[in-house]
Structure 1
Amino acid sequence: MEMLRWEAEVVVVGTGPGGATVARELARAGRRVLLFERGGPERGRPLYGTHLGALRYTERGGLFFTPEGIQVVAPHMVGGATGMFAGCAAPPPDWLRTKYGIDLRLEVAETIEELRIAPLPPEHRGAASTRLAEAARALGYAIYPQPKFIRPERAPRFQCGAHCLLGCRCGAKWSAAEFVEEAVRAGALLFPYAFVERVLLEGGRAVGVAGRIRGQPFIARADRVVLAAGGLGTPRILQASGFRGIGEGLAMDLTVIVYGRSRADGNASDPPMTWSWEDPGLEVMFSTLMDPWLLYPLVAGMSGLRHVATWPRWRQMLGVMIKLRDTLSGRLHPDGSLSKPLTPTDRDRLQEAVGIARRILSEAGADPASIFVSPMRGTHPSATVRIGELVDTDLQTEVRGLYVCDASVFPEALGRPTVLTLIALGKRLARSMVEA
């Protein structure tokens, strides 16, 4: 079979927020950029934002579990995980600057202004979600309206609810695919359905990547390579390229949803995560969230068969999400499988957080006897190629010309929405590459 070949100044692997930002900034600066994405352009297609679509563009059809029973959510599409995220924005934690020397304040401010990141207007935060927020406030929790990458005025008809986690069909939610489109307009070449297998190394530096596009082999040579294939995709490429120490320990921002049945309407029709609050002592984030309609009975059944009976009352269910800033543990294996055991401390913190969510649900009018906890999910696989260990503060690996710009570089779990941090890292990296 014929080998496809390309050459450029920079190869970027992955179109999530980190890779899309790097590609856009470099293309705008006049650099010749090749952009490779394992998935396809899903936005605007008939199945995008549906349960059937999600089966196609998530790894293993969404049935990717660790041996410990944690479901791992890993979308493959142009725009990466932003195609299925809740549209939440949070600045990087202070410790990223004070402990690791990564100062992103300028890039964060620029992004907030450019994308007009802000909480949804009060009329769009959802009656049930606001009821949960009022219950949390009555119990003394410092709740706040969650800043969003969602602008209702962008949508001809704003229809945001639990289904938005499958993909935004109304157009209100920003996706990194928009940065990809801007990169292409600036001259970057996009190659979807491209599975990058390894980095090409010569004389102690990176000179390109090799892989397959729809089964056909290719080689793309470049002066510099940026891996941005995600917290699981990037370490797999590095492992296949002969790097050692990759994927030893990882974080996932472990997540559960605590559900309870209300006599009034629940928050299934509300935009996801419109209100949030943190417990700094527990290192836990809480938010208002529901699973989409067809996913809910599967989640409920995994929690106990009797909970499936609540499916007909899905619209009366209230959901409070718990996101745990987990301790580094486990391993990503070269065959693509991974393990992620919870530490005893993480289990204790999670149990305490579940107790808080139960009290909030009860205060908001949920029947205490109906409350149950969903199975655990890993929503932000990260910290597999950590800053300070496997990449430097400029995001360069031990190999010259090889950079990483995705959640794999987080030195610890963020414990909060990651997209704003990744965009800021992408801008910072692109500027340093342009100035070099």
Structure 2
Amino acid sequence: MEDIIVIGSGVGGSTVFKELKEAFPNQNIRLIESGSDPFYVSEGENVEVIYANSFGGTGVYSVANAVRIDLKEFNISKKDSIYKKIEKELSISDVPDDYLGKNSKKLLESGFSKTPKFINFELCKNCGLCAHDPCDAKWIPCDFLRKYSDDIVTDTIVMKLAKQDGIFSIVALDKKSGEIKIYRSKQVIVSAGAINSPRILKTILNNEEIGKNLYIDTFVTVGGILKGSNLKSEVSMAINKKYDEFILATHYSELLHKRISEFENVNKNDIFSLMVKIKDENTGEVFENSVKKEMSMNDTRNLCEGVSKASKYLYDLGVENIYSTVPRGSHPGGTCAVGKVVDKNLETEIEGLYVCDASVIPKAPGAPPILGIMAISEKFVENLKK
């Protein structure tokens, strides 16, 4: 019997688990994770949704963006002292000038800004592989978890939740042995991410809002040939420019290279490109075995305007032919939204059953969400202590 079980080890789950272990050292607290070694998962009709199944969740493949965001539903503002605490813990800093190529530096002169990163640049090799290859230079959620390994179960898929006589039962499949196991706990915190948290909740709750209201921070990467630009080896999204409904950021994409190669012979080191990421509307839904996400008219308009802005910067740098990837998204959220699935304390209608991850954020924040998820998670544990 556990006092608390956390389901999921991504940014939300790892932060919650660490904070709980520190706040309640005498309680039995366990974490259950469905993955182990990281790999990408792709789902979605119409617009592709990308996330990672792994110990550490999608945060293992993050490009280490550390941006403060306003989260009024949780009484968190960019000026909140909780962000200072997180920034100190993750040793956040801007990308040094000598890690930027000449074209990125030109964009800085055109109004772009450096993106804060949770990267130790003394260890960073500037390989451009943050989204593909975890390394010692970058913080990942696993860093919060390693010293608690005895209380963590990996490769275990939660199949069903139930509650009887005040105790939760978690029915789970051990992927390695094929055995069905049952874990029992007084409280459960679901932190499996905006795709899988609603799937777990649907096994115990009948709330019709679960799984709806999905947003994903829809993005495309646009660019072309710029000889010797070598963006491929720069830290991804090292610089950015924010607009009301979208952001632009430097971003190399293998999919863009593939697209350009259909029309021109191109070396990967000669591609220069920008990501256009919009604050998309809640038009998606998560089902038991699928995800559906469409672009609204407003999303399409904002994406087109972003591509137009990005193209102008690319033309000014000397890119003649502009190519684009198809729309995708890698920041799913909104599917267990506060006010619809959980209350302000992140508790569901079942006492002792909570959700704490990006799924509780009701609208796309329009910026990288990691610091925001961590801030929500830390405040959530503070409330549990009261």
Unaligned runs of 5+ in 2: none
424-433 or 158-167: bigger deviation = 158-167
Task: Summarize deviations over 1:216-271 as a string: whole Å, max 9, x none.
Answer: 11111111111000010101111222432211221000011011211332411111
Deviation at 1:127, TM superposition (A): 3.1
2:251 aligned residue: 289
* Counterpart-to-counterpart distance in 2, 1:125 and 1:208: 51
In the alignment, the residues of structure 1 paired with residue 366 and residue 349 of structure 2 have an alpha-carbon distance, to the nearest angstrom, of 28
1:20 partner letter:
S
Partner amino acid for 1:119?
A: D
Match of 2:16 among 22, 31, 36: 22
Aligned counterpart, 2:145: 180
For 2:239 and 2:155, the matched residues in 1 are separated by: 36
**What is the distance in 1 between the residues matched to 2:56 and 2:40?**
13
Structure 1 residues 206 and 321: alpha-carbon distance in aligned structure 2, compared to 1, 3 A threshold? farther
Task: Indicate yes or no: 2:246 matched with 1:258.
Answer: no
Instruction: Answer whether contact 1:14 1:38 (CA < 8 A) is retained.
Output: yes
104-113 or 215-224: which moved more? 104-113
Q: What one-letter code is carried by the residue in structure 2 that aligns with 1:115?
A: L
Q: C-alpha distance in 2, partners of 1:10/1:173?
A: 29
Residues 385 and 409 in structure 1, CA contact (< 8 A), matched pair in contact too: yes
Corresponding residue of 2:76? 103
Amino acid at match of 1:218: K
Query: Which of 96, 112, 115 is 1:146 aligned to?
Result: 115
Equivalent residue of 2:275, what SS?
strand
Hey, what does 1:66 align to over in structure 2? Answer: 44
CA contact (8 A) 2:5 2:30 kept: yes
Q: How does 1:219-368 map to 2 (within 5 A)?
A: 219-245=182-208, 246-280=210-244, 283-292=245-254, 295-298=255-258, 300=259, 307-310=261-264, 312-334=266-288, 336-367=289-320
Q: Distance in 2 between matches of 1:311 and 1:231?
A: 39
- 2:4 is aligned, of 10, 21, 25, to 10
Q: SS state of the match for residue 73, structure 1?
A: strand
Rounded to whole Å, the distance in 1 between the matches of 2:164 and 2:28 is 21
Q: Which has the higher helix share?
A: 1
Deviation at residue 423 of structure 1 after TM alignment: 1.1
Distance 1:250 1:226 in 2: 20
On the 8 A contact 1:206/1:401 being kept in 2, the answer is no
Q: Give the distance between the partners of 1:87 and 1:121, measured in 2 at CA.
A: 14
Deviation at 1:201, TM superposition (A): 1.6
| Alpha carbons of structure 1 residues 193 and 90: separation in structure 2 relative to 1, 3 Å | same
Q: Which amino acid aligns with 1:315?
A: N
Alignment partner of 1:36 out of 18, 32, 35 = 32
Q: What secondary structure sits across from 1:315 in the alignment?
A: helix
How many residue pairs were aligned? 379
Amino acid at match of 1:223: K
AA in 2 matched with 1:38: S
Q: Aligned equivalents of 1:72 and 1:431: distance in 2?
A: 32
Residue range with higher mean Cα deviation, 159-168 or 77-86: 159-168
Q: TM-score, normalised by structure 1?
A: 0.83
Contact map agreement 2:256 2:324 (CA 8 A) in 1: no
What residue identity is the alignment partner of 2:44?
T
- The 1:207–1:36 alpha-carbon spacing in structure 2 relative to 1, beyond 3 Å, is same
Deviations 1:349-374 (A, max 9, x none): 1111110000010111212xx21111
The one of 370, 376, 380 equivalent to 1:429 is 380
Question: What letter is aligned with 1:377?
Answer: R
AA partner of residue 307 (structure 2)? V
Q: Which of 173, 181, 184 is the equivalent residue of 1:218?
A: 181
Partner of residue 322, structure 2: 371
Offset from partner CA, 1:113-132 (integer Å, 9 cap, x none): 11111212211233332233
Aligned with residue 207 of structure 1, among 153, 156, 168:
168
Code of the aligned partner of 1:228:
S
Question: Matched residue of 2:6: which SS?
Answer: strand
- Cα distance in 1 between the residues matched to 2:100 and 2:7: 36
Answer yes or no: is the 8 Å Cα contact 1:267–1:290 preserved in 2: yes
Q: Does the Cα contact within 8 Å between 1:20 and 1:179 map onto a contact in 2?
A: yes
Counterpart of 1:324, as a letter, is I
Distance 1:241 1:133 in 2: 50
| Whole-angstrom CA distance in 2 between matches of 1:265 and 1:123 | 14
Report percent identity of matched pairs. 26
2:61 is the counterpart of 1:84: yes
